[in-house]
């Protein structure tokens, strides 16, 4: 203690390995003593050890140390969403995940290392207990910014400025369809209201059809007919769309569901 300022002697302490094992044993026999079990620990020994600041629960120090690292992370990056495979601090990512697990156990009434004091400390730095919900809110905010800049919510998966946003938008349509069918889905009425508030388009094919139709109208004005060839040099994509309309029409005549 005089040399290092604490009593947390590791079992791998090279200068004195037996001391590390002895310290560990004191914690074990102390726990037995606390439970009223037979133990070599005594009140006198406890007083002597506490006199030099002996730490009975080493996990408390470990938690405090990790919390300090989280505080530094928040100051640097502006949030507490440390990923498990974070290149900045992978150990901190594991610790953050462990806090969420302990918190969930705590909510279920299961004993865990989470305490009211720790919850308050984590809330103080903006800790996100439900990372999926907070990720949704983050992506939603990014979509709002996208709408302000581009005027629509049709974010492509190849959107270079933010590829994850494009994938997220696609996922919202998928889970919405499940929600509409009454299947298990992460979509909720609240999320639907928020998305529709900014003009979210659930069926992107509707916009695609309208856009292609506008192109066909322009084609007719220019060439005087709607017979767009599949390999049309003017607009090959329009040619494919025109053929698709004929196919859908034939299906419709047969009573088959089509676009």
What is the spatial distance between Cα 80 and Cα 66, in angstroms, rounded to a whole number?
12
H/E element, 241 = helix 236-253
Give me the number of domains the chain comprises.
4
* 47 found inside a domain: yes
pLDDT digits 0-9 by tens, 129-147: 877 777 788 889 899 999 9
**Domain-embedded: residue 258:** no
pLDDT value, residue 61: 66
Domain end: 197, 218, 239, which one? 197
36, part of any domain: yes
Domain match, 108 and 152 both = no
- Are 187 and 214 in a shared domain? no
41 and 93, same domain (yes or no): no
**62 and 42 co-located in one domain:** no
Quote the pLDDT of residue 173.
92
Domain final position from 85, 108, 124: 124
Rg (CA), the chain: 31
Using alpha carbons only, give the angle 244, 250, 253 rounded to the nearest 5 degrees.
140
Same-domain check for residues 73 and 109: yes
Encode pLDDT of 78-120 as tens digits: 888 787 665 667 788 888 888 888 888 888 888 877 888 889 9
Q: How much is the pLDDT for 195?
A: 93
What is 143-187 written as a DSSP string?
Answer: HHHHHHHHSS----TT-TT-HHHHHHHHHHHHHHHHHHTT---S-
Would you state the pLDDT for residue 206? 57
Inside any domain, residue 81: yes
- Collapsing DSSP to helix, strand or coil, 142 comes out as helix
Whether 259 is covered by a domain: the verdict is: no
Domain boundary among 124, 154, 180: 124
- Band the pLDDT of 215: cuts 50, 70, 90: confident
Q: What global pTM score does this model have? A: 0.42
Residue pLDDT, tens place only, 32-81: 998 999 999 999 999 998 888 877 777 666 788 888 889 998 888 888 87
- Whether 184 and 141 share a structural domain: yes
**Do 109 and 144 sit in the same domain of this protein?**
no
Average pLDDT over residues 178-196: 92
pLDDT for 5: 74
The answer to whether residues 187 and 212 belong to one domain is: no
Are residues 225 and 190 located together in one domain of the fold? no
Answer for the pair 20, 8: CB distance below 8 angstroms, yes or no: no
Whether residues 135 and 181 fall in one domain: yes
Query: Are 79 and 73 a contacting pair, CB within 8 Å?
Result: no
Q: Is the dihedral of CA 212, 218, 222, 226 positive or negative?
A: positive
For residue 59, the model assigns a pLDDT of 64
Q: Tokens representing 215?
A: 């192109």
10 Å CB burial of residue 92 (0-12, 13-18, 19+) is buried
Give me the domain span that covers residue 88.
Answer: 58-124
> Cα-flanking dihedrals φ and ψ of residue 254, to 5°?
-85, 0
Q: What is the pLDDT of residue 169?
A: 92
Q: Please report the pLDDT score of residue 207 as a whole number.
A: 58
């Amino acid at each position: 203690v005089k040399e290092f300022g604490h009593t947390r002697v590791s079992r791998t302490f090279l200068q004195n390995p037996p001391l590390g094992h002895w310290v560990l044993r004191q914690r074990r026999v102390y726990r037995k003593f606390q439970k009223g079990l037979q133990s070599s620990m005594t009140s006198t020994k406890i007083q002597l050890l506490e006199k030099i600041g002996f730490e009975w629960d080493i996990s408390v120090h470990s938690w405090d140390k990790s919390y300090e690292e989280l505080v530094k992370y928040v100051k640097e990056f502006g949030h507490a969403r440390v990923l498990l495979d974070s290149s900045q601090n992978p150990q901190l990512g594991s610790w953050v995940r462990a806090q969420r697990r302990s918190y969930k156990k705590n909510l279920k009434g299961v004993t865990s290392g989470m305490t009211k004091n720790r919850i308050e400390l984590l809330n103080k730095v903006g800790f996100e207990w439900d990372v999926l919900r907070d990720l949704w809110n983050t992506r939603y905010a990014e979509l709002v910014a996208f709408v302000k800049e581009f005027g629509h919510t049709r974010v492509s998966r190849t959107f270079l400025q933010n590829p994850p946003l494009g994938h997220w938008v696609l996922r919202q349509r998928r889970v919405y369809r499940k929600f509409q069918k009454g299947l298990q889905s992460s979509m909720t009425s609240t999320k639907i209201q928020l998305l529709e508030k900014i003009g979210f388009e659930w069926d992107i094919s509707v916009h695609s059809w309208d856009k292609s139709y506008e192109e066909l109208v322009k084609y007719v004005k220019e060439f005087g007919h709607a017979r767009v060839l599949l390999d049309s040099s003017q607009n090959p994509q329009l040619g494919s769309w025109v053929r698709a309309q004929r196919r859908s029409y034939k299906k419709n005549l047969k009573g088959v569901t089509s676009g």
